[in-house]
Every structure is written in C-alpha cells, then in structure tokens.
Amino acid sequence: MMEEKDKSQTWQERMKWLIGRLNEAGKAYYSEDREIMSNYEYDALYDELKALEDKTGVVMADSPTIHVGYEAVGELEKIRHESPMLSLDKTKSREELKNWLNGHDGLLSWKEDGLTVVLTYRDGELFRGVTRGNGEVGEVVTNNVKVFKNIPSKIAFKGELIIRGEAVITYSDFEKVNATIPDTDAKYKNPRNLCSGSVRQLNNEITASRNVRMYIFTLVSAEGVDFSNSMEEQFRFLKEQGFETVEYERVNEDTILEAIARFEEKIPSNDIPSDGLVLSYDDLAYAASLGRTAKFPRGAIAFKWADETAETTLQKIEWNTSRTGLINPVAVFDPVELEGTTVSRASVHNVSIVKSLKLGIGDRIKVYKANMIIPQISENLTLSGNIEIPAHCPVCGGDTKINKEQDSEVLYCVNPDCPAKKLKAFVHFVERDAMNIEGLSEATLEKLIGAGLIHRFDDIFHLNEHREEILQMDGVQEKSCDNLLASIEKASDTTLQRILGAVGIPGVGTANAKVISRYFDHEPERLAEASGEELASIDGVGDVMAGSIREYFSDVDKKAGFDALIEVCHLHKPESNAGALNLEGMVVVITGSLEHFENRNSLKEEIERRGGKVTGSVTKKTTLLVNNDATSTSSKNKTAQSLGIPIVTEEEFMEKYLV
C-alpha cells in the first residue's frame, strides 16, 4: 500500500525519508530475500525522489538514484589548508560565557566529538574532503566523504563553497559495531576513535559500513553569496543546500544560561557524541574584527562541562591479563561518590599513563567521570612514582614485554600457553550472546581448565563423561553439577550462527555471524571451504573480516577444533520468518530481567524476525522501552520519560505485538 506524504514535511525531510525507505527496500530485496514493498510502490517513491533532486539540485551521497562505487587507495594524500585551522579557547564558567557575549547575540551549539573535516564544492559537486590533521596539513579523504550518510554529492549552489564540519559516529551505531567484535580487548574505546579510523580508511567500503555522519559548524566561504552579516543566515543557506548543521540556539546575555541548561538536559538522550558547547558571535563582521591570538580565533569560544572531581587515596594497581595477552592496569582507590554513584576503580589504560601520572601506592589522587560516565584519574597530587611494571604475568608467571602501539607503551604476556588467554576465550564462548551455557562462570571454567578437563571448545560438551571428577572440586554440589551438565546438553542443540559468533574469530560477532551463516544456508562445510573473495562479497563482511575468517579455517588446529565442535553439537537451521512483519519500522530498547523469554537476546531475535529493530540506548528515535519495572529510576527509564517514549512490561508488549 502506498504511503502518503506528510504534508508538514520540508523537502529536506521528505528527501531523507525517501532515501531511507528506498535503501531499506533495496537491502531487504537484494540482501535478505524479502520484499517490504511492491515494485509499483518502489518505482513511485523512486520517481518522486528523482523529481525532488532535479527540482532542488541536491543529490545526497546515499541516494539510490546514484551509485557511489567502493574504491581502495594505496595511501591518503596530504594537502596544506589554505588557512590554519585553529583550536578554540575554552571555559568551564557559565558566567564567563555570558560575559563573553559583551552585548552581542550569539549561536550556542553542541561541540561534537569526532573528526573535523573540510569540504569544498565546485560547480555544484563535491570536489574535495580534507581532515583537520595538525591544523595546517590534513589528509585527503574525498573518496570516503562520498559515502558519509548525510552529505550531498551534488548541491544547487554552483559557486565555490568551503565548509567545515564534524564527522561523527552515533552512540547507537558505535554499539552496533562493537557488538560485532567478540574480543573485549579489541572493541573500540569510544565513538571518536572509531570515527577517526573510519574516516581515514584506505577502502571506503569500510567507511560506508560505519554510518559516518557529518554536521557542519562553519561556512568558510561561499562565492558571491550575501549572508546579511549573519552566521545564522549561513546555517539557513547550508540547510537549503541539503546539509545538516550542528544543533544550535540563538542566545543573548539574558537567555544564554537557560539555553545552557536546556543543552545539559539533553545530554542523556543525545545520540551524537559531544564534549561541550560552542558559542559563536552571530555578527560575522564583528567576529572577524576581533582577529585571533597565536592559538585561538576570538570569534568563538568552547564551553566544557565542569567535571565533578573527588580526592582519594590510591591503594593498589591491579594488572589483568586478557585473552589476547594484553595486561591492563586498573587503579583501586578508597571509594568516593561521583555523579551520584560510588566508584573505587578506574582503568589506567596502559603503561605510558602509569608513568606519566607517576603513580605510587598511597598517593593522593583526583578522580572524575569522563563524559559523566567513565571513572578516570585526572591528577596525582603526590607523584611518588613507586609503581613497578610487572616483569612477569600475574596469571602464569611468564615473561612480559612492553610493546609500542600508537605512541603508547602497552604490556603483554608472551607465554602462548598462559591460562588467562585460554580462560577469556572460553568465557566468551559460553556467554549469553554466544553459546549461552548457564552455570559456566569464569571461576568454574578456571577450575575445569586447571583440572585438565577442558582444552578445546568441544571438550565442554564431553564434561558429562567427567561428572565424578567435577563433583570432587571445591564448592561443587551434586545439584549444581547436574544443572550445569543439563545446561550444556541444552546448549548443544544450536545453530551455526551461534557457534560462528562464539569461537572468537576477530571481527565476527552476533550480527555478522547471522548474515554469514544465512549466506551459506547454515552449512558449516560451505563456510569452511569458502574463498576470501566469496566471503568479502557478503554484505557487511569486507576484506578484513574475510581475511580473519580464512586465517581461522586455514589454521589446522583451529579447523580441527571447529570440526569437532560441529560434530558434537546438534545443528539446526533457524526458522524462516514466514509471519507478518508487524514490527517493521519500530525501534525497541529492552532493559531489566524478563519472565517469559529466556533472556533479552531471545526477545531481540523475535522482534527482529518481525521486522523490528533493537538498540541498546534510548534516543528520540526509540519507539518504546520494554521494562518489567516501570517505576525504576534507571537512566533508560528517565530518558524514556523525558522524551515521552512509552514504557511497557514484557507481558504488555507480548499481548499487543507478539500475538
């Protein structure tokens, strides 16, 4: 059935909706063997989009009316900016920000946390994209900008246009990418790091898969256009060309404090990473007349949220060995209250930071929560520097070595047989989103590995042969042992996609495992024998992941372990989605414990089978939140309430949507 146009939509909103709808239909048809609209409806929407593009002169990079081919380059060309890109002076004082206006109107906007990129358009087409680099020399990333989600490849304006913006990856897209990475240590630390690597890829197919967006914050020049001396007019002009600008409010000395408070209230629901605000003069001539210092322009200033800090005493540094052998330092200190919670631990990340902070036992340190979330050490007041970097692994006692990675020193255990490496791999294997074996905690796995009962993944499914030995272990009762063996038996009835996501192939997580398994019709032999080229051709896989999969199956020991696992498990194919896609277009967040479904992942799979989408955080795009505790004061409940998003129980959701 044809969907009617919302009469209140602007042409930009309509174009964005048409592109999203058509691309969704194309993906469903070509990649997922399902139809979400008739050919007639697709053609009608396509024709409407083409007519809109012809009328406005704007063609977005992800429009189905054009095809941006994926292309790899050998290296990123470097180019000097026409004028240096300076940083902004900063303040954490709201009164100072108010006084800075000095009687003038200003524009207050998010200071988005990504990678600054300069775009040049000529004759109405994207000519060049360059990263900020060191402020004077940047890298040419035109090829990658072409696949940004919201950047037009063609605009109506035909003169030379130069603009600056922030390339970002949203929190929700960041979570999706990390969900595909089974190795905890390999996950990206924050959206900014992921965005920086995505924008600077040599192969723009990888960039395209990361959903990079760009929001414009400065119009550098627009040949022959009069903006009536107003920065806000520049923003209006850019929106008419199809660009998305940073979210902003017009302010003066009387309204700025209230505007800052409104931005602060939006922080929990803002899906775009930000690390503060920017205040700019609307009067372009006045801003230009102020000139600049050696480091900062005087026409704009950054506002950083004041972090709540607490002083405490460092008790010890724990060194934790991961399954990759990386040994991570964690600071343990006297508990303090920060942002409403009690914290007593903070990651120190690497050896370089331990050294730069000159940490020592008993030191007085200041701690805070980065972006109000992650505990960090901001300052060491004592600087005793008495922490010794371990020469031996805290788990196996083997030798350690310090590697240089991205200008930082990191500590590794070099023993290939380190139990920690094996333990973490098994912990991932039994996790809920992997093989989902209840009762196999990290402590239990450690005992089983130490007893020599587990060497490979398939050994877990032979533990019923060692029941008496398990009962002799400390703390193991007959009931808990039988429950564990029953859980293992239940988990052995599984699918290829679960096994593939559990065995620890770099880059292959739950979502990718599902796509790959479906491509090979859930036949493990076809997967194991597939060439790198065939694997790379699968939607969402690409060369890097394909290489990891080929490397895994080319390893004789890993291949033997995989075959043994397939042999001992009872594989079945997931049921096809023959029912109606009654949840199509819905975005659902699930939190808290469930009563009717085995776990959150089971409910997620059911929602996705019906065409819905499940995300990890509540944003303005969320349709509803499923939470059996509607009175909870959790951040997700608070965000949903502030945005007017319905909160329903599991039973209410089932009665309304899963009938």
Which sequence positions are flagged as catalytic? Answer: 111
Is 347:330 a contact under the CB 8 Å cutoff?
yes
Of 475, 445, 446, nearest to 460 by C-alpha is 445
The single-letter DSSP state of residue 325 is S
Compute the C-alpha angle 258/215/101, nearest 5°: 35
Amino acid at 28: A
Strand, coil or helix: what is 154?
strand
Question: How far is residue 119's CA from residue 405's CA, in Å, rounded to a whole number?
Answer: 31
332-340 contact pairs (CB < 8 A, 24+): 333/365, 333/367, 336/310, 336/311, 336/312, 336/367, 337/310, 338/308, 338/309, 338/310, 338/367, 338/368, 338/369, 338/375, 339/308, 339/369, 339/372
Is 106:252 a contact under the CB 8 Å cutoff?
yes
Cα first-last separation, the chain: 23
Q: Which residues of 63-100 are buried (b: 16+ CB within 10 A; e: fewer)?
A: bbbeeeebeeeeebeeeebeeebeebeebeeeeebbeb
Inter-CA distances, 583 with 6, 30, 575, 598, Å: 21, 21, 18, 20
Question: How far is residue 316's CA from residue 324's CA, in Å, rounded to a whole number?
Answer: 24
* Cα 439 off chain centre by: 30
Of 384, 312, 381, 387, nearest to 348 by C-alpha is 387
Instruction: Determine whether 510 is exposed, middle or buried from the number of CB atoms within 10 Å of its CB (0-12, 13-18, 19+).
Output: buried
572-576 contact pairs (CB < 8 A, 24+): 572/493, 572/494, 572/495, 573/495, 573/521, 573/522, 574/495, 574/497, 574/522
The single-letter DSSP state of residue 267 is G
For the chain, helix (H) and strand (E) counts, in that order, are 24, 26
Is 206:198 a contact under the CB 8 Å cutoff?
yes
Cβ contacts of residue 125 below 8 Å, gap of 6+? 153, 154, 155
